[in-house]
Amino acid sequence: MSLLSIFATAILPIFAISVVGFVLGRVRDVDPGPLNTVTVYVLAPALVFHSLATTELGAGTLVDVALAVVAYHVVMILVAEGVGRVLGGATTGVSAIVLVSAFPNSGNFGVPVSEFAFGETGRATAVLYLTVQAVLMYTVGVYIASRGNSEGALAGVRRVFTVPLVYAVVAALAARALNLVPPTGTTAMATLKLVGDSAIPVMLLILGLQLAETNYGATLRQVGTATVLKMGVAPVVAAGVALAIGFTDPVVGRVFVLESAMPAAITPLILLVEFGEGEVGGVPVESFVSTAVLVTTLVSVPVLTGLIALLDAGLLF
């Protein structure tokens, strides 16, 4: 498959929907908050439950993906922490670099890209990746964002127990283990699939709306290091982790690497605004993170196109 074909089939549809959200956010005062709430509490849990309950991935593969996601985040956090310390950044600046570099946008960007690129296996693997990362984000991520603020950190970590994605994956795995999953053709499963499928375009619209609110003019020169770590180092680390894990299904390994190579996530911005304070290179931390999200999203167009070509050709796995 040519690079142009990969771009047209796997990347362009994602960006087209995101651009619609971006333009809408620029021409109209649209608050993405309510849409995000609906996605987090209704659409995404339905997507997670249906995908995991009906996936053909074996239990061993599910464990391998979870271990790989944890290993990738541990390595990237250590690498980004080291780079931040070497550059002499303050605690807030190092925290921002770590969160931007280590946590990819595996949800409203990663899930649709993986599905377009690798079909149902791509979707199921991406959903599992998203779920494990959500737990890490609201535990380890909150600690990194708060750094020294134990009261705020503990309050934030408790949020992991309010994330519906966690309960959706537990319910799906329990239903599989007890053989209680309804047949795919039933009304209940058809309804869940309908609701879950709607999460993907809504996620992309939300991404566009969030990027439309980004004020990036004064901070572009500050995000170079984070961009290199996220879009250059992270895929290499993920490939190493995938080789070390040794996925029995090569497609799952490819999706894992692809998910890890996604641009920076939006959630670190929320965490740093709520639990952190200060500046990065003389600019407010929220401006730094929002600009990093925008820049890595733009850079991801050629990076992901080339990476999908390599993965699809089986040159890495």
Residue 222 within a domain: yes
Residue 317 within a domain: no
pLDDT at 211: 76
Residue 35 within a domain: yes
Count of beta carbons in the 10 Å neighbourhood of residue 69: 24
Query: Rounded to an integer, what distance in angstroms lies between the CA atom of residue 222 and that of residue 292?
Result: 9
DSSP 8-state assignment for residue 317: -
pTM of the entire predicted model: 0.81
Q: Phi and psi dihedrals of 103, rounded to 5?
A: -110, 105
Residue 315 within a domain: no
Task: Please count the structural domains in the chain.
Answer: 1
196: domain CATH number is 1.20.1530.20
pLDDT at 69: 96
Q: Which distant-in-sequence residues (6+ apart) come within 8 Å of 35 by Cβ?
A: 202, 205, 206, 209
Residue 133 within a domain: yes
Do the beta carbons of residue 264 and residue 296 sit within 8 Å? Answer: yes
Query: Rounded to an integer, what distance in angstroms lies between the CA atom of residue 21 and that of residue 28?
Result: 10
Query: Rounded to an integer, what distance in angstroms lies between the CA atom of residue 247 and that of residue 244?
Result: 9
One digit per residue, the tens of pLDDT, for the chain of length 317 reads: 566 777 777 778 878 888 899 899 999 988 887 887 888 788 888 888 888 788 777 778 889 999 999 999 999 999 999 998 887 666 777 888 899 999 998 877 888 889 888 988 998 899 889 888 888 887 788 788 776 554 555 655 666 677 787 788 788 889 988 888 888 889 989 999 899 888 878 878 887 887 787 666 656 667 888 899 999 999 999 999 999 999 989 999 999 999 999 999 877 766 666 665 566 666 677 677 778 888 898 899 899 999 999 998 887 76
Query: Rounded to an integer, what distance in angstroms lies between the CA atom of residue 285 and that of residue 311?
Result: 35
pLDDT at 138: 75
Residue 316 within a domain: no
pLDDT at 244: 94
pLDDT at 271: 67
Which structural domain range is residue 111 located in?
3-310
